[in-house]
Chains A and B, each alone.
Chain A
Amino acid sequence: GENVEQHPSTLSVQEGDSAVIKCTYSDSASNYFPWYKQELGKGPQLIIDIRSNVGEKKDQRIAVTLNKTAKHFSLHITETQPEDSAVYFCAASRPGGYQKVTFGTGTKLQVIP
């Protein structure tokens, strides 16, 4: 089955700096890669996603890159703010709409004011 590795497990940055979280996946058939943000006491919130036919996607301060050959994808957050502090999860799933999504182990991001 699919295996998703996520690094680092914790990340502290100064407000205004950039944060990068990296994930690798094992199943070359995976074609959908979402990123979720989970705040304390809440469910994961989809913040951005990318499909295997796209190399990069941006949404304001958030961007995701995908390298299909190396089977890794990354989340980039620029100009970090204290409200970006949360746990971030990457995930991967295969085509077909069958929602068997495999998640990474999470990265706890702390933005220091």
Chain B
Amino acid sequence: KAGVTQTPRYLIKTRGQQVTLSCSPISGHRSVSWYQQTPGQGLQFLFEYFSETQRNKGNFPGRFSGRQFSNSRSEMNVSTLELGDSALYLCASSWGGDEQFFGPGTRLTVL
């Protein structure tokens, strides 16, 4: 069974630009969560989608948004990038219960 895949794996952007990250969950999983990981703040919850609906949201500004498609694939968008947005963005999938399985992440660098 294929694991969670995230594309791209690495991304370099400049301040003010926007970026879209993609996540394909494990087949059959309907929940996708997004996390930001930085050395200073650790792993922080961004939001969770289940069957195309956002069920929960963390404490991030509105520049961070997401969506989920009918095939459970999810995208995360960050607009007007800031230097502080440089981080590893992780996606995790779940069938809808507690257990989450993480992808390898997308390393975003904002210059």
Contacts and interface: CB of A to CB of B under 8 A. Distances in A.
Nearest to B101: A46
Interface stretch (B13-21, B78-86, B90-98): B90-98
B74 interface: no
Contact of B102 (A41, A43, A102): A43
Contacts of B102: 36, 43-46
B11 interface: no
A105 B42 contact: yes
Interface residue tally on B, bucketed by range: 20 to 34
Interface in B69-111: 90, 92, 94, 96-105
A86 B54 CA distance: 32
Given A43-B105, A45-B102, A98 B45 contact: no
Interface string B30-64: 01010000000011110010000001101000000
Contacts of A41: 104
A36 B42 CA distance: 13
Interface of B: 4, 31, 33, 42-45, 48, 55-56, 58, 90, 92, 94, 96-105
15 contacts: A34-B98, A41-B104, A42-B104, A42-B105, A43-B92, A43-B105, A44-B90, A46-B99, A99-B31, A99-B33, A99-B45, A99-B48, A99-B94, A100-B58, A105-B42
